[in-house]
Amino acid sequence: MTVSGGSLTAAQVPEPAPGPDEVLIEVAAAGVNRADLLQVSGHYPPPQGAPAWPGLEVSGTIVDVGSADNATLLGAEVCALLPGGGYAQFATVDAGLVLPVPEHVDLVDAAGLPEAAATVYSNLGYLLGEDASRKRRVLVHGGSGGVGSFAVQFARQLAGAETWTTARGEFAKRLEALGADRVVDYRSEDFAALAQEAGGADAILDVIGAAYFEPNLKALAQDGRLAIIGLQQGNAAQIHLGGLLAKRATITGTTLRARPLEQRRQILAEVFERVWPALDTGDIKPVVTTRLPLGDAAEAHRLMGAGGHFGKIVLTAK
């Protein structure tokens, strides 16, 4: 799969060879993310050294290793976090960015885990180290998306938080089944006012960006934290500094792919230690609702771009 003129085209490329610290994965499936759509449209170029085609996460079987140090991984069914290049039959990746497929999780569905798990943990993982006796409220924007549906489960099952999310009203029952205590229909309800009335949100995970910046600050509780991980509705916003100071709020903005390799390795190691057990037991599940063949990648992007989709879309190699 290659990118040409803002569109995806199937193409034959040489099979990659793993470097000394890498493994070669025969891809069973690749997760689709909004970053892939941005890359194809020319707004999110791949990092230096990454393939030119998209794909930030895959699942599959390790069929080759770059050094004897990783020989025990041969034949393992895994999922992996990539800097790019997952829309392919084979992909190479640093061995430190590979995780075993959780117990009772289908190999194809596992392709929808690495990006969501790493993104959520790197922004909300601090909640796992806080005093569990104090009930906290977490607000997840875009709960029906791939990251959002994982974040709802993470906040409820691992952090033990009262979990709110914004989504279309028709998704309320599905999100409640994942652990959401309150689903706010963003089309007809004011999430900031509702959160204020309830005492505010201790943590907000936001994929929207500028359009929600001011209401997010209003929705925060004292000492609350706002983590901005997406810019779906704008990248420039004004801030009222007095309100920020009065609430002693913390605002962070993060991306995952651009982090140094060592940071990504560390995040994956902590995800394996602290999140993977909940996947092994089924307390957290991948939410994959659409499977399409790799050759239909353009259709997968169209579906995601149109909005209104629930959970993850994955592209299957066969």
Q: Tens digit of pLDDT for each residue in 99-157?
A: 999 999 999 999 999 999 999 999 999 999 877 678 899 999 999 999 999 999 999 99
Q: Are residues 124 and 102 in the same domain?
A: no
Q: For residue 154, what is the domain's CATH number?
A: 3.40.50.720
Q: In terms of domains, do 143 and 229 share one? A: yes
Question: Do both 201 and 303 map to the same domain?
Answer: no
Is 137 in the same domain as 236? yes
142 and 99 housed in the same domain: no
Partnered with residue 290 across adjacent β-strands are: 313
Output the DSSP codes for 221-242. EEEEEEEE---TT-S-----HH
Query: How many domains does the chain divide into?
Result: 2
Residues 168 and 187 in one domain: yes
Residue 271 lies in a domain: no
Q: Where a domain ends, among 253, 272, 303?
A: 253
**CA angle at 273 for the pair 51 and 316, rounded to the nearest 5°:** 40
- Residue 274 in any domain: the answer is no
Which of 236, 253, 270 is the last residue in one of the domains?
253
The CATH number that applies at residue 11 is 3.90.180.10
Kindly state whether residues 105 and 123 are assigned to the same domain. Answer: no
- 127 and 212, same domain (yes or no): yes
Low-confidence residues of the chain: pLDDT under 50: none
Q: Which residue segment(s) compose the domain that 49 sits in?
A: 2-112+286-316
How many Å apart are CA 66 and CA 84, to the nearest integer? 19
Give CA–CA dist 131/129, Å, rounded. 7
CB crowding 115-147: b at 16 or more within 10 Å, else e: bbbbbbbbbbbebeeeeeeeebbbbbbbbbbbb
Instruction: Supply the pTM of this predicted model.
Output: 0.95
Residue of 142, 98, 102, 94 whose CA lies nearest to 120: 142
Flag whether 9 is in a domain.
yes
> Rounded to whole angstroms, how far apart are CA atoms 85 and 75?
21
